[in-house]
């Protein structure tokens, strides 16, 4: 899993540049701080974002630099402050709206979907809604059914929204900066289990374009398309597969919309086998889209059906004995890949 720390995959971009090791949380914070310094229109709004720096402490320190005018604690009113964000974005500001847990998207869908996503189109291009909704996904934190969901397929479905799922500190920083500069509403999901995950991040400023998948590990025999923390699961599986002589390519789409279909399809055409792995529920989830895109685009090249591995289709149970069964694991991916490659 070396590239997680050395960003091998992005070595081209950062070759010879000075780098430091940062956690995901630090990378996110750095992106926010840089963009807030750069652009006075950027502000952060949400519950306990100021002095507390969020329950995950990701924003710690930002209020010291930018003050409570730009790092704003709100009441527990997700629909309300999301709406204020939309109104502010329509009138010249660039809000970053903090939705503490991705499970609370249930409360903000109207603001995201009926308001933010549509204002531009409905007005015939008159309004811009440059807003970022920062939120979380990911289970196995023993937070139970209402604090563990990965609901990113919902905004991925909605024209007008862009959806970002960074897996490494490098990606987290570069993609968040792009999200803030984007003139459209962007929903940015951090896996809450990865805030302490480390990786190399350049000293120099950089951004990462949306819609460009990243090959986290090159391989020849099978394609593992994985999102967010599932990238680590896929890399773990790739390590094991290597031991039995199977070379797996790990592809991280990084944004579910825009989706870099070409890179996914090209990889599958090359390897002729693919598994897609995502922590959302499997049914009608992100894996369905990724699998359908590959099955279509690589139809004449595939030696086996595209396989999907999402979260088990159950509300996330609290008990560790059960919760750990619900998310894809490196072992499970390894087994599936082995079978797909015809190695019983």
Partner 1 sequence: MAANMKAKQVSHTQTDAGGATVDPEEWLHMYRQMYRIRSFEEEVNDLYTKALMPGLAHLYIGEEAVAVGVCESLKREDYITSTHRGHGHCLAKGASPDRMFAELLGRAPGYCKGKGGSMHIADQEGGNLGANAIVGAGSGIATGAAFSARMRKSGQVAVTFFGEGALGQGLLYEVMNMASLWKLPVVYVCENNLYNEYTHYSQTTAGELSARPAAFGIPVEVVDGQNVRAVYETARRFIERARNGEGPGFVICNTYRYHGHHVGDINRAYYRSKEEETLWKTERDPLNLLSQWLTEQHLADAAIFEQIEKEAREEMRSAVEFAIKAPFPDASEVTQHVYA
Ligand X SMILES: Cc1ncc(C[n+]2csc(CCOP(=O)(O)OP(=O)(O)O)c2C)c(N)n1
Q: Does 122 bind ligand X (CB under 6 A)?
A: no
Residue 320, contacted partner among a copy of itself, partner 1, ligand X, none, CB below 5-8 A by kind: partner 1
Strand partners, 43: 95
Choose which of 1, 11, 20, 77 interacts with partner 1 (CB under 8 A): 77
* 208 or 259: CB nearest a copy of itself: 259
Binding-site member from 50, 93, 100, 234 for ligand X (CB under 6 A):
100
Q: Is 344 exposed, middle or buried (0-12, 13-18, 19+ CB in 10 A)?
A: exposed
What is the distance between the alpha carbons of residues 256 and 287, in angstroms, rounded to a whole number? 10
Of residues 306-325, those binding a copy of itself (CB under 8 A): 306-308, 313-315, 317-318
> What is the nearest approach in angstroms of partner 1 to the Cβ of residue 334?
19
Angle at 59 between CA 54 and CA 62, to 5 degrees: 130
The beta strand positions in 117-244, using DSSP E, are: 132-137, 162-164, 186-191, 198-202, 214-217, 222-226
Q: Is 296 left (phi over 0), alpha (psi -120 to 50) or beta?
A: alpha
**Is 289 a known active-site residue?**
no
178 with 96: CB under 8 angstroms?
Answer: no
Interface with ligand X by CB under 6 A: which range of 38-46, 100-108, 310-318, 336-344? 100-108
Q: Scanning residues 101 to 120, which ones bind ligand X (CB under 6 A)?
A: 104, 107
Q: Which residue stretch of 197-205, 214-222, 239-247, 310-318 sits at the interface with partner 1 (rule: CB under 8 A)?
A: 310-318
Q: Are strands 274-281 and 222-226 parallel, antiparallel or unpaired?
A: parallel
Longest dimension (CA), the chain: 61
Q: What residues from 22 to 41 belong to the interface with ligand X (CB under 6 A)?
A: none
Minimum distance of partner 1 from residue 211's CB (angstroms): 11
Site string for a copy of itself, 87-106 (x = CB under 8 A): ----------------x-xx
DSSP 188: E
Say how far apart CA 87 and CA 246 lie, in whole Å.
52
Per-residue x/- marks for a copy of itself, 132-161, CB under 8 A? Answer: ------------xxx----x-xx-xxxxx-
> Cα–Cα distance between 53 and 5 in angstroms, integer?
26
147 in active site? yes
| Residue 81, contacted partner among partner 1, a copy of itself, ligand X, none, CB below 5-8 A by kind | partner 1
Binding part of the chain for partner 1, among 23-31, 90-98, 167-175, 291-299 by CB under 8 A, reads 90-98
Q: Residue 46: CA atoms inside 13 Å, Cβ hemisphere, count?
A: 24
Q: Which of residues 205-264 bind a copy of itself (CB under 8 A)?
A: 256-257, 259
304 binds partner 1 (CB under 8 A): no
DSSP string, 229-284: THHHHHHHHHHHHHHTT--EEEEE-SEEES--HHHHHHHHHHHS-EEEEEEEESTT
**Is residue 122 a contact residue for a copy of itself (CB under 8 A)?**
yes
Find the binder of ligand X among 47, 260, 278, 323 (CB under 6 A): 47
Q: What angle do CA 13, 232, 217 make, to 5 degrees?
A: 45
- Token pair of 170 as six digits: 């490098």
Radius of gyration (Cα) for the chain, nearest Å? 20
Residues that bind partner 1 (CB under 8 A): 43, 47-48, 51-52, 55, 69, 73-77, 79-93, 103-104, 106-107, 110-111, 114-115, 119-128, 130, 141-147, 159-160, 162, 183-184, 312-315, 317-322, 325-326
What is the set of active-site residues?
A: 78, 147
Residue ranges binding a copy of itself (CB under 8 A): 103, 105-107, 109-110, 112-114, 117-118, 121-122, 144-146, 151, 153-154, 156-160, 256-257, 259, 280-281, 283-289, 291-292, 295-297, 299, 302, 304-308, 313-315, 317-318
């Amino acid at each position: 899993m070396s590239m997680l720390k050395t960003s091998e995959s992005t070595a081209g971009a950062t070759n010879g540049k000075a780098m430091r090791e940062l956690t995901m949380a630090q990378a996110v914070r750095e992106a926010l701080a840089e963009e807030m310094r750069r652009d006075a229109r950027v502000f952060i709004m949400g519950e306990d974002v100021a002095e507390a720096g969020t329950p995950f402490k990701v924003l710690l320190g930002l209020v010291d630099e930018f003050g409570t005018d730009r790092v704003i604690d709100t009441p527990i009113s997700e629909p309300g402050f999301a709406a204020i964000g939309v109104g502010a974005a329509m009138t010249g500001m660039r809000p970053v709206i903090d939705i503490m847990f991705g499970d609370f998207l249930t409360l903000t869908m109207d603001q995201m979907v009926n308001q933010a996503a549509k204002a531009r189109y409905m007005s015939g291009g008159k309004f811009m809604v440059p807003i970022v909704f920062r939120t979380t996904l990911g289970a196995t934190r023993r937070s139970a059914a209402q604090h563990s969901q990965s609901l990113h397929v919902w905004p991925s479905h909605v024209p007008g929204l862009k959806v970002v799922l960074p897996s490494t500190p490098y990606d987290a920083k570069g993609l968040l900066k792009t999200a803030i500069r984007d003139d459209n509403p962007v929903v940015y999901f951090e896996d809450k289990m990865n805030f302490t995950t480390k990786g190399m991040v350049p000293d120099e400023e950089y951004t990462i374009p949306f819609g460009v998948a990243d090959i986290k590990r090159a391989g020849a025999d099978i394609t593992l398309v994985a999102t967010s923390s599932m990238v680590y699961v896929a890399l773990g599986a790739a390590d094991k597969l290597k031991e039995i002589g199977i070379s797996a390519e790990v592809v991280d789409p990084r944004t579910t919309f825009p989706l870099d279909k070409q890179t996914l399809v090209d990889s599958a055409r090359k390897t002729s086998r693919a598994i897609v792995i995502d922590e959302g529920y499997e049914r009608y989830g992100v894996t369905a889209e990724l699998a359908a895109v590959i099955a279509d685009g690589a139809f004449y090249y595939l030696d086996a059906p595209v396989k999907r591995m999402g979260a088990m289709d159950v509300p996330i149970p609290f008990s560790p004995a059960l919760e750990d069964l619900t998310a894809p694991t490196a072992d499970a991916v390894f087994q599936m890949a082995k079978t797909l490659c015809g190695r019983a």
